[in-house]
Amino acid sequence: MSTATDTGQAILDRIAARQVVRAQLEAQDAADMLAFQDLRRVEAERHADPRVREMETSFAADEISVITHEPPRTVQMRLADARRVRNKLPQTWAAFCEGRIDAFRIRLIASATAKVTTIENHIHLDAIIGDYAATHTTAQLKAKLNRFIARWETSDAAVEEERSKRSVWVNHQDDGMSFLTAYVPTPDALFIDALLTERAKAISDDRTLDQRRADLLIEQMRGTTDGHTTSSRAVIGITVPVTSLAGLDNLPGESFDGTFALPAQMVRDMTAEPGTLWFRILTDPTGKILDTTEPRPFPSDALRTTIQARDGTCRFPTCTRPAMESDLDHQIPRPHGPTNGHNLRALCRRHHNIKTMQIAEPTNYKMRDGRDAS
């Protein structure tokens, strides 16, 4: 705690000391996670089926995720990064354990290390990157790593491998807005960027250049011409209070998986667009979805949509895979278990397979309820 007699240097020294302690604790966590995964790998050797061995070993990440309250995918990436640096860059790993490098820098280094193909270059990178990471910003470190890869590892094969990772993803924010991010080849990104700017500058209105660029991108992707959408519409799962649709209140709509909410007026605007489809789900006065039982082994589209709306995501406690992209699992297996809302739950393919192989029944963990009430 700062006092009136503290000098500026004393305060800075305390901050620096805490940075070291924090990094050391992160390193201890990483080492223990690796030890736990190694333990599960040894235990998995009792299975003759290699698929079961691999699945049981991978489930270590899910077990850790329950403790750390992180998605299993995040834990898997942390484990892979830590193992890569520990095995390939021993000097850098030692700097991490000493608290000179934090976990975020280790993640950047691990990402670059994954592109290094020779032992000689691993040794070279290990010799130079530890001290550099300890004394430079993360932006400087990332640039240094990029230069290293470009100089020592860039090849036609490496470029093609990186190109294969191209993708587009969405990060939902507040107030009905989201980031749309694309990982695409640089020439294509430069072309799209220049084209949007050129077309936006040709428009004269009260919008900013950035706003015109964003609107042009939306119009292009949605096939909008003169305010009319000409392209096909995607299916988006949203629950909407009927009172909000009627204009009696302003309760927001919410996605099935709970990752975003839409302001009431934005939902009402969406419903007015041609092609919007509605699926009616009956609830009791408290909003609880009423149970439905069907005399069939597989759920109908109606029951499937109801379960997806109720669960939102995979029911494993730390999994965020949307229910709309998950399997429906009979908790009591067929033919003994009924096909109804009480017995069905959304499980992503990974956790469904884990349960089916009886490696670690997901119900050993407290399953999340359906959609959060908040």
SS3 374: coil
Percentage, residues of the chain above pLDDT 70? 82
> In Å, how far are 183, 259, 312, 314 from 262, measured between CA atoms?
26, 10, 16, 22
pLDDT in tens, 112-154: 999 898 999 999 999 999 999 999 999 999 989 988 987 887 6
Strands 327-330 and 261-262: unpaired
Q: Is residue 91's pLDDT more than 90?
A: yes
Instruction: Give the distance from CA 261 to its chain's centroid.
Output: 18
Closest residue by Cα to residue 36 from 58, 21, 53: 58
**Nearest 10 degrees: CA dihedral of 342, 348, 354, 357?**
70
Closest residue by Cα to residue 101 from 131, 65, 139: 131
Q: Is residue 285's pLDDT more than 70?
A: no
Q: Do 326 and 348 form a contact (C-beta atoms < 8 A)?
A: yes
The CA distance from 373 to 356, in Å, is 30
More confident of the two residues 299 and 84: 84
Structure tokens at 17: 């000391």
The strand ranges marked E within the chain are 167-172, 178-183, 224-225, 228-229, 238-239, 253-255, 261-262, 293-294, 327-330, 339-340, 344-347
When pLDDT is cut at 50, 70 and 90, the band that residue 258 belongs to is confident
Site of tokens 């998995």: 44
Closest residue by Cα to residue 213 from 201, 231, 228, 223: 201
* Most confident segment among 121-125, 162-166, 187-191, 250-254: 121-125
Percentage, residues of the chain above pLDDT 90? 42
Domain boundaries along the sequence of the chain: 8-161, 167-229, 238-271, 293-364
Class of residue 192 by CB neighbours under 10 A (exposed 0-12, middle 13-18, buried 19+): middle
More confident of the two residues 150 and 213: 213
Structure tokens at 325: 């992209």
Q: Is residue 306's pLDDT more than 90?
A: no
CB proximity list for 373: less than 8 A, separation 6 or greater: none
> Omega into 362 within 30° of 0, i.e. cis?
no
The CA distance from 293 to 299, in Å, is 9
The CA distance from 295 to 226, in Å, is 49
Structure tokens at 38: 């190694």
- Radius of gyration over every alpha carbon of the chain, rounded to an integer in angstroms: 26
Structure tokens at 106: 């280790």
Mean pLDDT computed over 260-265:
79
Looking at residue 262, its pLDDT comes to: 77
Taking the chain, what is the end-to-end CA distance rounded to the nearest angstrom? 37
Looking at residue 374, its pLDDT comes to: 37
Residue 175: which region, alpha, beta or left (left: phi > 0; alpha: psi -120 to 50)?
Answer: left
pLDDT in tens, 11-53: 999 999 999 999 999 999 999 999 999 999 999 998 888 888 8
The CA distance from 360 to 44, in Å, is 12
